[in-house]
Amino acid sequence: MTSDFHGSCLCGAITYHISTSIKAVTHCHCSQCRKAHGAAFATYGSVPAQALSCSDPQAMLRVFKSSPTVSRSFCSGCGTSLFWANASGDYPDWLSVALGTLDTPFEPTRQKHVHVQSKACWLVIADGWPQQQ
């Protein structure tokens, strides 16, 4: 499995490098993720924060606190949601990376759906991956 990944925002102003394997691939159906991504759900992979390096020469990266402990990072130029972190979660030194921003191919071996009680009412989850309320 690859342990070297590159990604970027839509406009290319922000690029990042991940120097480790991506863990805990989740499809989050909470209302905050749906709104932040403008989609039925957001797909993330978790990495230790120290394994991610970001290049932002135009200082476009912004952080929005969507709740008292959750910070969401995005490009202020194109609006791409890139990362989120939970300062008081089980893994405060980890980041969740929006996998749709990867430029390197990635094939997860395991996935799961989380916060399915908040999913869009019109979405049917039929892929067979585990689901958590």
Query: Would you say residue 133 lies in a domain?
Result: no
Query: Would you say residue 62 lies in a domain?
Result: yes
Query: Would you say residue 127 lies in a domain?
Result: no
Q: Which domain holds residue 68?
A: 5-118
Q: 87 with 96: CB under 8 angstroms?
A: no
What percent of the chain is predicted at pLDDT more than 90?
Answer: 91
Which residues does 39 contact at the CB level (< 8 Å), separation at least 6?
none
Query: Would you say residue 49 lies in a domain?
Result: yes
pLDDT at position 85 = 95
Query: Would you say residue 129 lies in a domain?
Result: no
CATH number at residue 19: 2.170.150.70
Q: In the chain, how many domains are there?
A: 1
Query: Would you say residue 33 lies in a domain?
Result: yes
Sheet architecture: strand order including 94-98:
61-65, 70-75, 81-86, 94-98, 42-48, 23-28, 112-114
pTM: 0.92
Query: Would you say residue 28 lies in a domain?
Result: yes
Residuewise pLDDT in 10s, the chain (133 residues): 678 999 999 999 999 999 999 998 999 999 999 999 999 999 999 999 999 999 999 999 999 999 999 999 999 999 999 999 998 878 889 999 999 999 999 999 899 999 999 999 999 999 999 999 9
Query: Would you say residue 126 lies in a domain?
Result: no
